[in-house]
């Protein structure tokens, strides 16, 4: 069940207000709206309804989405949006060109000016667009992943906001080696996902290698498909009670995973009786961004982003053996 904003009430208030005093209209409309609840709970298609230029829009909420909301080009044309700037999204050699304009977006508590982007490639095929959790005006945002199971415990992680060229994303950080890895939950994809430079970094510190015959495809934003290979590490990375040991690596997008190597038959690195002493040194400048897929958290029932308390809470049953 997803909470939607209240376009019908907003329109009713605007019609009832007198047209002779625009300032009074605006004040009356804002005062008449009940306050937003502290928490937005999302389940199923994870969509909400917002208002843009007096028109209702359905936005898909994604914990993996970064930067401003992105709407489909068809919607931008229907709303007659006039572009103010250009922007683009790069996925290795694939570039998606787009446009942007500052608009007033109403999540139900009154219009909020913010940039809106759009591109010819659809941002969502189940809604009019996509927005990240960081754009939402709630104290808490919870994603329902599955029914709760017996014996669940709640793991708490510090919420970290990171910004690259103004594109905010949220996750949590853990230390690997002498650097911090940014961990972002991405339950819309099955596998944990990293770029080649990040795979090099992880493999260097945690003794990783590619599994044989593990070629795959990662579907990125805008439906872009990029080739991957599956990397396994001998020393799992601990994220709370989660043990991260397998990652889909984008092998053709940013650099080459030269330091990952291959996992051979009876590879001693993966013998639990072996004591590992790594002699490799880290190189390059990885982005240190790791997306945590739903396979990794299949035993978890919900994720809560407490934006007011800067905390991510993950409610999970016993981890599978």
202-258 confidence digits (pLDDT tens): 999 998 899 999 999 999 999 999 999 999 999 999 999 999 999 999 998 887 787
261: helix, strand or coil: coil
Question: Using CA atoms in the order 256, 257, 261, 262, what is the torsion angle rounded to 10 degrees?
Answer: -100
The CA–CA distances, whole Å, from 63 to 46, 120, 143 equal 10, 23, 9
Using CA atoms, how far apart are residues 248 and 215, in angstroms rounded to an integer?
Answer: 9
The predicted structure's pLDDT at residue 257: 80
Walk me through the domains of the chain, giving residue ranges and CATH numbers: 7-141 (2.40.70.10), 148-316 (2.40.70.10)
- Indicate if the pLDDT at residue 22 is higher than 80: no
The Cα 178–Cα 189 span in angstroms is 29
More confident residue, 114 or 9: 114
The chain-wide mean pLDDT, for the chain, equals 84
User: What confidence tens digit (pLDDT) does each residue in 45-63 have?
Assistant: 999 999 998 899 999 999 9
The pLDDT tens digits for 162-197 are: 877 668 889 999 999 888 999 999 999 999 999 999
Q: Answer whether 0.75 is exceeded by the pTM.
A: yes
3-class state of residue 194 by DSSP: strand
> What angle in degrees, to the nearest 10, is found between the helix axes of 22-32 and 7-16?
140
**pLDDT (0 to 100) of residue 265:** 67
Instruction: Give the model's pLDDT for residue 1.
Output: 44
Cα(180)–Cα(97) distance, integer angstroms: 31
Predicted confidence band at 282 (pLDDT cuts at 50, 70, 90)? very low
Residue 33 has pLDDT above 90, yes or no: no
Q: Contact at 8 Å (CB) between 255 and 196?
A: yes
The CA–CA distances, whole Å, from 224 to 121, 148, 188, 276 equal 9, 33, 15, 38
Q: pLDDT at position 267, please?
A: 60
Q: What is the pLDDT of residue 12?
A: 33
Give one word for 253, left, alpha or beta, with left for phi > 0 and alpha for psi -120 to 50: alpha
């Amino acid at each position: 069940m997803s909470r939607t904003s209240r376009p019908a009430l907003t329109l009713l208030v605007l019609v009832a207000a007198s047209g002779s005093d625009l300032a009074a209209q605006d004040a009356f409309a804002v005062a008449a709206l009940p306050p937003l609840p502290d928490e937005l709970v999302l389940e199923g298609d994870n969509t909400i309804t917002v208002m843009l230029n007096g028109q209702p829009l359905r936005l898909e909420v994604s914990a993996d989405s970064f930067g401003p909301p992105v709407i489909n080009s068809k919607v931008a044309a229907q709303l007659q949006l006039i572009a103010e700037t250009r922007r683009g999204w790069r996925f290795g050699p694939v570039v998606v060109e787009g446009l942007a304009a500052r608009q007033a977006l109403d999540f139900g508590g009154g219009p909020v000016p913010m940039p809106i982007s759009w591109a010819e490639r659809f941002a969502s095929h189940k809604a009019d667009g996509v927005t990240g959790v960081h754009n939402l005006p709630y104290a808490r945002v919870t994603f329902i992943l599955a029914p709760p199971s017996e014996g669940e415990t709640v793991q708490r992680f510090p919420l970290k906001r990171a910004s690259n060229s103004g594109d905010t994303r949220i996750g949590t950080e853990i230390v690997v080696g002498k650097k911090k890895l940014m961990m972002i939950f991405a339950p819309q994809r099955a596998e944990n996902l990293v770029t080649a430079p990040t795979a090099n970094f992880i493999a260097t510190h945690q003794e990783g290698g590619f599994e044989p015959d593990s070629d795959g495809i990662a579907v990125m934003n805008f439906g872009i498909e990029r080739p991957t290979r599956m990397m396994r590490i001998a020393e799992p990375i601990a994220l709370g009670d989660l043990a991260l040991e397998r990652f889909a690596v984008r092998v053709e997008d940013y650099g080459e995973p030269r330091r990952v190597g291959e996992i051979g038959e009876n590879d001693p690195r993966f013998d639990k009786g072996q004591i590992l002493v790594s002699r490799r040194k880290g190189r390059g400048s990885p982005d240190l961004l790791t997306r945590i897929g739903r396979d990794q958290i299949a035993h978890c029932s919900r994720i809560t982003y407490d934006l007011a308390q800067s905390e991510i809470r993950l409610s999970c049953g016993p981890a599978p053996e």
